[in-house]
Chains A and B, each alone.
Chain A
Amino acid sequence: AQSVTQLGSHVSVSEGALVLLRCNYSSSVPPYLFWYVQYPNQGLQLLLKYTSAATLVKGINGFEAEFKKSETSFHLTKPSAHMSDAAEYFCAVSPSNTGKLIFGQGTTLQVKP
């Protein structure tokens, strides 16, 4: 069965610092991978998705993620954190490319001034 592991339930960075949120997946076939963001009291919003077209995926708000098959990883990065980036981030895999997603446990990003 496919699964997703997010390393670190809480990450704290200073404003302007690099953001790195880690995600590892287990899959026997090339997966469809996603990063979603959830702001307080809101639903989830898609940041970016990997669908095998390119290993480096660029998303919204300056985020990007790199698919590394050899490491079964799909880490999310942003060169410079903004206060507005404070939210919870979820990595997800789609086992069947439908509306069923398997989510990681989430990582709360705190941005300090």
Chain B
Amino acid sequence: KAGVTQTPRYLIKTRGQQVTLSCSPISGHRSVSWYQQTPGQGLQFLFEYFSETQRNKGNFPGRFSGRQFSNSRSEMNVSTLELGDSALYLCASSLRDNTGELFFGEGSRLTVL
């Protein structure tokens, strides 16, 4: 069974640009969550989607957005990139909507220059 797949794995952008990251959950998983990991702030929750609806949202500015498609695949978008957005962005999926037990992808490492 394939795990959570995130693309791209690595990318470099410049300030002011926007970026879209993609996540394919494990087959059958309907919940997808996104996390930002940085050395200074650690792991921070961005948002969670379940059945195409955003169910939870973290404390990030509106430049960070996401969506989920009918096949449970998810994308997150960051507009007007800032240097501080450089991070590892992790996607996680779960089988049911209430376990808290997450299966993580390997992440997309974003560098903003």
Contacts and interface: CB of A to CB of B under 8 A. Distances in A.
A67 B44 CA distance: 24
Interface string B47-78: 01010000110100000000000000000000
Given A42-B106, A43-B106, A103-B43, A96 B56 contact: yes
Interface residues of B, number: 28
Contacts, number: 68
Query: Closest 7 CB pairs between A and B?
Result: A94-B100, A43-B104, A99-B33, A103-B43, A99-B48, A44-B104, A100-B56
A34 to B, nearest CB: 7
Contacts of A41: 106
B101 A34 contact: yes
B90 interface: yes
Nearest to B3: A43
B92 interface: yes
A99 B42 contact: no
Contacts of A101: 33, 35, 43, 45, 100, 102
A45 B94 CA distance: 12
A43 B90 contact: yes
Nearest to B91: A43
The size bracket of the interface on A is 20 to 34
Contacts of A32: 100
Contact of A43 (B4, B50, B58): B4
Given A43-B4, A44-B90, A94-B100, A100 B45 contact: yes
Contacts of B55: 98-99
Nearest to B92: A99
B43 A98 contact: no
Nearest to A41: B106
A74 interface: no
A46 B43 contact: no
Contacts of A94: 100
A49 B101 contact: yes
